[in-house]
Amino acid sequence: MFKNIAQKTTMNSNTNTMKYKNSVKINEEEVISKISVKPSSLLVKSSEGRNSLFTELFENKYIVSVYRICLAFFVSGCISSLVHDYSHDKKILLGYNLVSKALKNMHLMVIIWLLVFFISLIPYYGAKYWAKIRHTLKRKSLEVHFWDGISLLFYITHSFGMLYCGFTLLLKCDLGFIAGISAGAETVRLMMKGYSFVRFCVTRLLDQPEKYSEHRNLTHYIYFLVAPTMLYKDSYSRSTNPIKWEKVAVYFLEFVAIIFLLSITFERVFIAELQYYGLKHMSVVDILFIITNNALYGLVFMLALHYLVLHLWLNAFAEMLSFSDRLFYKDWWSATTHQRYYRDWNLVMNEWLYTYIYTDFVERFLPKRKMMPKLAVFLVSSFFHDYVISLAIGFFMPVYIIDMVVFGVILSEIKFPNNIVSNVLLLYTIGLKASIQLTVCSLEYYCRLNRAKNNLSLRDFFVPKFVECYK
């Protein structure tokens, strides 16, 4: 039987060799990103110096030409916005009104960030004190279990306290969208970094009790808090080259330009059609037309947002901190499955989710059921996304829970035999989902704005109102 299979394989080798090599190459690229394989274990993060994908692509003159085409689109959008603003309002705005509203009370955001940053230093001293006391106790004694339990309770209280503190402060300070999403994202980011540090210290102490005193200084911990990585290590790959401040300046200049591009796009495409919702009737057909008509703009929005945060922002800080491991994303735009798209979109966050959610579920809870760990990853990711977005827009709208937990799990299991069809459908669904999210959030926002009520309760924060406006 095996002999016949071998003969049949040999006969067809000439036609299948290239397909096989290409599939192996794709699988290797999907698996080996910033992680390495250990025998009889799951994938483990490795640290080495690498450039971001766009940095390498921009060395190709043809990709630079595509970049310049994008710049031409940006200039065209600015000129169109300039003519529109002057002809309608006799002013030159270029999206400034929306940006200024989004940056409302930015000084309060800085104060909140400083408060949350100092709170995030507590895990450093807490882990250090826990290790010191635990080393003096007898192993496997009742005192050790009691001390571990008290320390765990303290850490859980600290983590939920950070989230509650961010929730309360952001609701009371009335921040703009950019200020709110920055403060909310930083709260979640610092909390997740603290968890990574605690897990690293606890694992090392339990595996190697004699190394309890090997605790890096506070400077290294602060470097970890601001570095573009979510996994704590005793050392990171550092660049020996001098900091290129002109490159940092270009990153921030592009960052500001894309902020205004997103503002112009959102103002001209979504706000123009939805700002009167609640004041005039819009049918379901009208809303569906807006969603499908703006799917292309949704894809542009996601492309610009990805380049803004995961390339410009992270590379700017990586350059300033001489952080050499800059592979923050992969070529998600060429993915043929949603599973690969979710994995390659944001490697920085996915490393944390893989290490502390997926791996824990596979190794400790459900080793034979791979769907449940995947669902847990989607749940955790969607919860934090909706937490940040809800605080930024001022009301709860579970767009990411529906997107990731419902559509994400389903779409990640769907595969098409043709890679071209799969990639095109993937890109379209990315744009369509972005259009749905932006449209639904805009409907809710303008419904609340146009039918404002006094003395809003906590229930009003969680209960959507856009259905009431439709009625």
Q: Which stretches in the chain have pLDDT values below 70?
A: 1-47, 210-215, 452-456, 470-471
Catalytic residue IDs: 385
- CA-closest candidate to residue 299, choices 322, 332, 325: 332
- CA-closest candidate to residue 229, choices 191, 267, 189: 189
> For position 174, what pLDDT does the model report?
84
Asked whether the beta carbons of 55 and 315 are under 8 A apart, the reply is yes
CA dihedral 234, 237, 241, 244 (to 10 degrees): -90
> For position 409, what pLDDT does the model report?
74
Ordered by start, the domain boundaries in the chain are 88-236
Distance in angstroms (rounded) separating the CA atoms of residues 394 and 392: 6
Phi, psi angle pair for 35, to nearest 5°: -130, 155
Q: Could you give the 3-state DSSP secondary structure of residue 277? A: strand
DSSP state of 138: P
Q: Where are the alpha helices (DSSP H) in 137-283?
A: 142-173, 177-207, 218-226, 245-266, 272-274
Q: Could you give the 3-state DSSP secondary structure of residue 238? A: strand
Evaluate the CA torsion angle 316, 318, 319, 324 in order and state its sign: negative
> For position 78, what pLDDT does the model report?
87
Q: Could you give the 3-state DSSP secondary structure of residue 36? A: strand
Instruction: Compute how many other C-beta atoms are within 10 angstroms of the C-beta atom of residue 164.
Output: 10
Distance in angstroms (rounded) separating the CA atoms of residues 272 and 49: 45
Tokens 């950019």 identify what position? Answer: 178
> For position 35, what pLDDT does the model report?
40
Phi, psi angle pair for 265, to nearest 5°: -65, -50
> For position 131, what pLDDT does the model report?
86
What the block records as the tokens of 467 is: 């259905």
> For position 305, what pLDDT does the model report?
93
